[in-house]
Amino acid sequence: RTAKFKELLLKEFHRVLMGDSKVFTSGLDVHNTYDVKYDSNSPKKSSREEVMCALKSVELRTVTADDEPFARLGFKIPRAPLQEQRHYNTCAVVTSAGALLGSELGEFIDSHDMVLRFNNAPTENYTESVGSKTTFRVLNSQVVAKPEFNFMEDPLYRNVSIIIWDPANYTSTLEDWYHHPDYPLFPIYKKLLDRYKNADVHLLNPQVLWALWSVLQDTSPYRLRRNPPSSGFIGLWFALHRCQRVRMFEYVPSARATRRCHYHAPAHDAACTLGAWHPLAHEKTLAERLRDNRDVQVFQQGIIDVPGFRTITC
């Protein structure tokens, strides 16, 4: 049953990636929203070791208090980096996939030293499925900028460390980005830093997104959408920097896979799991290759287990 499911899933990823790739080769792809440049002669990386080392070489860079225009404009960005640069033994990265609902993985998730969650995914009322502990959140800029997420007031975003990402154009400076973010997050970020003096909230340097995208493209035989990786992939990469072991939940879909997009909302959309805007199908293919746990745990329980960057020498 596991072997059959795995075969079907990998075929499905392949089908999605072929579909995307065809759009490029047919010349229909006129959209390059972020003006992404890619050298197609860049050497392909295929072995697990090469992929791990390529990801490890993407440094964790956040906007600092000394970066312009943020310094000049008085952003009180904390000088102490995220959670004092702490390293953890075991980490849980919890996607928001609908398949987590009813999984009863909550207790196991909470047993990890660090738990990372995404965007507005709640734990209240879902603790049996996803646990209750949160150490980090990775947020896209919509969560910060759109009033319906209530970022300034909602307790979901207090007393946790937060990394916010928003794409800049491929060659943009921080100054360019400040004037043309995807969503208007900067005034809210500034207000937050003024109001909550100890907030451990940071902006991911947007160049990191394209460095990660390049690793994705370097490891794919298909041409990928020129959009940033999903929050999920950013969270996995961050955790690999900080943890000895990373367990990620329902990123590589298990036999519990459902059309439900999020465990915390009833809407159905299969593209959430396979990818519509982000190069998600390739992110997941890659994550599946990096894990070292058994097929049955991956495809029945929805858990991938990946050794952290510190365990490898590049």
Closer by beta carbon to ligand C5P, 213 or else 251? 251
Angle between helices 2-25 and 280-290 (to 10 degrees): 140
- Binding to ligand C5P by residue 103, rule CB under 6 A? no
> Which listed residue (163, 272, 286, 287) binds ligand C5P by CB under 6 A?
272
What is the 3 state secondary structure string of 34-90? CCCCCCCCCCCCCCHHHHHHHHHCCCCCECCCCCCCCCCCCCCCCCCCHHHHCCEEE
Q: Which of 98, 279, 302, 308 binds ligand C5P (CB under 6 A)?
A: 98
Q: Does 97 bind ligand C5P (CB under 6 A)?
A: yes
Query: Among residues 232 and 308, whose Cβ is nearest to ligand C5P?
Result: 232
Stretch that binds ligand C5P, among 24-32, 95-103, 146-154, 206-214 (CB under 6 A): 95-103
Instruction: Examine residue 13 and tell whether it contacts ligand C5P (CB under 6 A).
Output: no
Identified binder of ligand C5P from the candidate list 16, 144, 216, 261, rule CB under 6 A? 261
232 sits near ligand C5P (criterion: CB under 6 A)? yes
CB atoms within 10 A of CB 127: 15
Question: Mind giving me the DSSP string for 192-214?
Answer: HHHH-TT--EEEBPHHHHHHHHH
Would you tell me how many other CB atoms lie within 10 Å of the CB of residue 4? 10
Helix (H/G/I), strand (E/B), else coil: 117: strand
Burial of 258 (0-12, 13-18, 19+ CB in 10 A): middle
Which residue of this chain has its Cβ atom nearest to ligand C5P in the complex?
232
Tokens representing 261 are 């997009």
The rounded distance, in Å, linking the Cα atoms of 231 and 228 is 9
Question: Given candidates 134, 231, 254, 301, which one binds ligand C5P under the rule CB under 6 A?
Answer: 231
Question: Nearest Cα to 137, choosing from 123, 124, 150?
Answer: 123
Among 119, 172, 220, 254, binds ligand C5P (CB under 6 A): 119
- Tell me how far CA of residue 170 lies from CA of 38, 71, 194, 233, 311, in angstroms: 10, 22, 30, 18, 31
User: Among residues 82 and 272, whose Cβ is nearest to ligand C5P?
Assistant: 272
Does position 95 interact with ligand C5P (CB under 6 A)? The reply is yes
Would you give the binding string for ligand C5P spanning residues 175-204, x where CB under 6 A is met? ------------------------------
Question: Which residues are CB-neighbours of 205 under 8 A, at least 6 positions away?
Answer: 61, 62, 63, 174
Determine the Cα–Cα distance for residues 178 and 189; give it in Å rounded to an integer. Answer: 12
Residue from 151, 186, 251, 309 touching ligand C5P (CB under 6 A): that is 251
Least distance to ligand C5P, CB of residue 119, Å: 4
Binds ligand C5P (CB under 6 A): choice among 172, 217, 227, 273:
273
Minimum Å distance from CB 194 to ligand C5P? 27
254: contact with ligand C5P by CB under 6 A:
no
CA distances from 286 to 55, 154, 160, 222, 262 (A): 11, 34, 28, 13, 22
Cβ closer to ligand C5P: 7 or 269?
269
Residues 58-77 that bind ligand C5P (CB under 6 A): none
Which residues are at the interface with ligand C5P (CB under 6 A)?
A: 95-98, 118-119, 230-232, 251, 261-262, 272-273
